[in-house]
Amino acid sequence: MTAGWLAPDLTMNAADYRELVGAALAFKQRYPQHTECVLRGKAIYFLFYNPSLRTRSSFQTGLSRMGGHPITLDPQNGIYTPALPEAEIPYSTERVADVARVLSAYGDAIAIRMYGAPAGWVYGGAHRHLEAFAKWASVPVINMECDRFHPCQALADVMTLRERLGGLTGRRLCISWAYSGSWHKPVAVPQSLLLAAVKSGMDVTLAHPPAFALDPAVMNAAEKFADQTGARVRVTHDFRDGMSDAHAVYAKSWCSLTHLPAHAGEPVDETAMRAAFEPHRHWCVDQAVMGHAAPNAGYLHCLPADRGQEVADDVIDGPQSWVFQQAANRLHAQNAIMAHLLNPGCLA
Ligand code: CP
């Protein structure tokens, strides 16, 4: 397997991760004048099984401006849908193992977004697709969000926290579930962020209603990283308690893992999924909720945000909102990731 960017939040040690965050912040200072040739001639294939504004635009802009060639392939229209053996349909799908080897022969990396419906909503199913790509590709595979991790987002998040708060050791981050009218948001963002934050030494309070617990394997990994960095992880089911004295509040919705199907082909119990959300409509970050956080605490969200449900307009548009700096950092985080994978010398 070639080195890639599949689940670095889980697999990369804390020291290496911190070093990469520092390198990404320095790389940002050189962009665009002093980075314009670092990926000259490099071709990356971008496969989006799900919609995207930020990831698609920032990756493709960044790669173009560094001299490379972004090539978008739509897995559900225009190519044979890359599939694992158990989901193959003659002349409609193509085995991931074959796609990965073919694209490796043409270009320099393969980037994939896949979560939810394209993997039948079985938790971990999308991540297995990415692992299959990585197994068969001879070029790096980049995770642009699967059902377990969103490592590009997490790097941008930590960069933003570093820019706003300076050193992160001992700084308090609240990662909170928030209400949404959609049950479809994956757990990838809070899971990657939790791991990236504790590697950065932050004390994290994870706030969610009981039915919205994260993957126990991720929680265990977070505790292990916290032991190494001296960070603390606390879980609360009380929204306002979660905000208490936080230096940064990252509140977004995610789905309930307990209501996802265990096996491919089983339907999602949408009634149960929605019922899990409805008692928690008050989990919306408004000015009163932000008042429980530390003075001048920042509000973060990966976007797209469900305004009026996850967050009030006057918070996301107000002086405490860091979300547009965070969105801008997607470009810089991913530039650093592409450079790290394809021309690591230029990051030094
Ligand atoms: N935050 C994020 O990944 O945005 P997109 O879904 O627009 O790519």
Mean pLDDT of 14-27: 97
- Residue range 158-215, pLDDT digits in tens: 999 999 999 999 999 999 999 999 999 999 999 999 999 999 999 999 999 999 999 9
Query: Which residues face 110 on adjacent strands?
Result: 45, 141
Choose one of 325, 330, 331, 337 to mutate for the ligand 1 pocket test, by most ligand atoms within 8 angstroms of C-beta. 330
Question: Which residue CA neighbors atom 3 of ligand 1 most closely?
Answer: 55
Q: Would you say 95 and 83 are in contact if contact means Cβ atoms under 8 Å apart? A: yes
- Predicted confidence at residue 218, as pLDDT, reads 98
Distance 122 CA to ligand 1 centre (A): 21
Task: Say yes or no: CB of residue 53 within 6 Å of ligand 1.
Answer: yes
- Residue range 65-117, pLDDT digits in tens: 999 999 999 999 999 999 999 999 999 999 999 999 999 999 999 999 999 99
Choose one of 46, 47, 49, 52 to mutate for the ligand 1 pocket test, by most ligand atoms within 8 angstroms of C-beta. 52
Rounded distance between C-alpha atoms, residue 49 and residue 17, angstroms? 28
- Checking if the pLDDT of 1 tops 60, the result is no
- Predicted confidence at residue 264, as pLDDT, reads 86
Rounded distance between C-alpha atoms, residue 193 and residue 183, angstroms? 20
- Residue range 230-240, pLDDT digits in tens: 999 999 999 99
Query: Could you identify the atom of ligand 1 that is nearest to the CA of residue 303?
Result: 1
- Checking if the pLDDT of 330 tops 90, the result is yes
- Predicted confidence at residue 2, as pLDDT, reads 63
Rounded distance between C-alpha atoms, residue 247 and residue 101, angstroms? 46
Distance 304 CA to ligand 1 centre (A): 7
Q: Decide: helix, strand or coil at residue 256.
A: coil
Distance 110 CA to ligand 1 centre (A): 18
Query: Could you identify the atom of ligand 1 that is nearest to the CA of residue 145?
Result: 3
Task: Say yes or no: CB of residue 252 within 6 Å of ligand 1.
Answer: no
- Tell me whether residue 202 is exposed, middle or buried, using C-beta atoms within 10 angstroms of its C-beta: 0 to 12, 13 to 18, 19 or more: buried
Report which residue type is found at 266.
E
Q: Would you say 76 and 83 are in contact if contact means Cβ atoms under 8 Å apart? A: no
Question: Which residue CA neighbors atom 1 of ligand 1 most closely?
Answer: 302
Cα 67 to its chain centre, rounded Å, is 25
- Residue range 266-306, pLDDT digits in tens: 999 999 999 999 999 999 999 999 999 999 999 999 999 99
Strand residues in the chain grouped as ranges (E): 43-48, 69-73, 81-83, 93-95, 109-113, 141-143, 172-177, 203-207, 233-236, 248-252, 298-300
- Predicted confidence at residue 3, as pLDDT, reads 76
Rounded distance between C-alpha atoms, residue 275 and residue 304, angstroms? 23
Name residues whose C-beta falls within 8 Å of residue 339's C-beta, 6 or more positions apart in sequence. 27, 35, 38, 39, 66, 346, 347
Name residues whose C-beta falls within 8 Å of residue 21's C-beta, 6 or more positions apart in sequence. 155, 158, 159, 162, 200
pTM: 0.98
Provide the pairing of β-strand 203-207 with 172-177: parallel
